[in-house]
Amino acid sequence: MEKMSTEENKWTKLVNRLIELTQKNELSWKYSINESAKEKPSDTINASYFCEYKEKIIRITSYSTIDFYGSYITTLRKREDDQKWITRIKIEIGNHSEGWWEIPSTNNLNDLLDTIKFKTSGAQSVINDLLSEA
């Protein structure tokens, strides 16, 4: 198994910390529409959330994009049978007046997004109500 570099470990720890703070309700995420997260006009935004932390905004966006694969010529032709939709998740830190910086991708971004969705959806109270009625 390949050892994680110090830099990779730093970003994984950051995302784990965001998960922890979200689970403890110390970060309050809100749903938003973040069209600026699109890298190509054909991209589709799946989910976008933001929270405020020390006068900055942290935002996470899940989006689907077309990934063309095959030879270089095939990619240039962009044949529909040579494309597939892939989902990407990115976290950015900043604000609208000073700009945004994207943290490097980590393997635990999906865990953070799932935690945020669970917290913002109110699912826990519905689950508790349903189980208490049983």
- For the segment 35-75, what is each residue's pLDDT rounded down to a tens digit? 776 677 777 888 899 999 999 999 999 988 887 665 444 45
Helix and strand numbers (H, E) in the chain are: 4, 5
Q: How far apart are CA 35 and CA 59, in angstroms?
A: 12
Q: By percentage, how much of the chain surpasses pLDDT 70?
A: 83
1 assigned to some structural domain: no
With respect to residue 112, please indicate whether it lies within any of the assigned structural domains: yes
Q: What pTM was computed for the model?
A: 0.79
- State the Cα–Cα distance between residues 122 and 29, nearest whole angstrom: 12
Would you state the pLDDT for residue 41? 73
Would 74 be classed as within a structural domain?
yes
User: How many domains would you assign to the chain?
Assistant: 1
Please state the rounded mean pLDDT for residues 65-94.
Answer: 70
- Name residue, tokens 């989910």: 47
Residue 94 lies in a domain: yes
Residue 19 domain flag: yes
Domain membership of residue 61 (yes or no) is: yes
The closest of 63, 72, 71, 65 to 90, measured between CA atoms, is: 63
Residue 35 belongs to what domain range?
6-133
